[in-house]
Amino acid sequence: MEKLTSQTIHETLDGLKNKSFSAVELTKDYLRAMEEKRLLNAYVLETPDKALAQAQEADRRYHNGNARALEGIPLGIKDLFCTEGIRTTACSHILDGFVPPYESTVTGKLFAAGAGCLGKLNMDEFAMGGSNENSFYGPVYNPWKAEEKLVPGGSSGGSAAAVAANICAAATGTDTGGSIRQPAAFCGVTGIKPTYGRCSRYGIVAFASSLDQAGPIAKDVRDCALLLNVMAGYDEKDSTSAKRNVPDFTKVLGQSVRGLKIGIPAEYRPEGLNAEIAACWDKGIEMLKSAGAEIVNISLPHSKYALAAYYIIAPAEASSNLARYDGLRYGLRVSGDHLDNMYINTRSAGFGQEVKRRIMIGSYVLSAGYYDAYYLKAQKVRRLIRDDFVRAFADCDVILTPTAPTAAFPIGDCSMRENPINMWLNDIFTVSVNLAGLPGLSLPAGLSAAGLPLGLQLIGRPFDEETVFKAAAVIETETGFERLK
Residues 281, 96: Cα–Cα separation, whole Å = 43
Contact 161, 40 (CB under 8 A): yes
Bridge partners of 171? 76, 217
Nearest residue to 268 via CA among 294, 296, 303, 293: 303
Region label for 90, one of left (φ > 0), alpha (ψ between -120 and 50) or beta (otherwise): left
CA atoms within 13 A on the CB side of 475: 30
Q: Which helix (H) or strand (E) element contains residue 190?
A: strand 190-193
Contact 201, 238 (CB under 8 A): yes
Q: Which amino acids are annotated catalytic?
A: 78, 155, 179
Backbone angles phi, psi at 477, to 5 degrees: -65, -45
b/e map 83-116, b = 16+ CB within 10 Å:
beebbbbbbbbbbeebebeebbbbbbbbbebbbb
Residues 6+ apart with CB under 8 A from 236: none
In 70-126 the beta strands, taken as DSSP E runs, fall at 74-78, 116-121
Q: What angle do CA 426, 428, 169 make, to 5 degrees?
A: 60
- Class of residue 333 by CB neighbours under 10 A (exposed 0-12, middle 13-18, buried 19+): middle
Residues 6, 4: Cα–Cα separation, whole Å = 5
Contact 159, 379 (CB under 8 A): no
Nearest residue to 340 via CA among 326, 353, 351: 326
Residues 351, 98: Cα–Cα separation, whole Å = 15
CA atoms within 13 A on the CB side of 358: 29
Q: Which helix (H) or strand (E) element contains residue 215?
A: strand 213-218
Polymer length of the chain? 485
Residues 6+ apart with CB under 8 A from 454: 185, 276, 277, 280, 402, 407, 444, 445, 446, 447, 448
Rounded to a whole number of angstroms, the distance between the first and last alpha carbons of the chain is 12
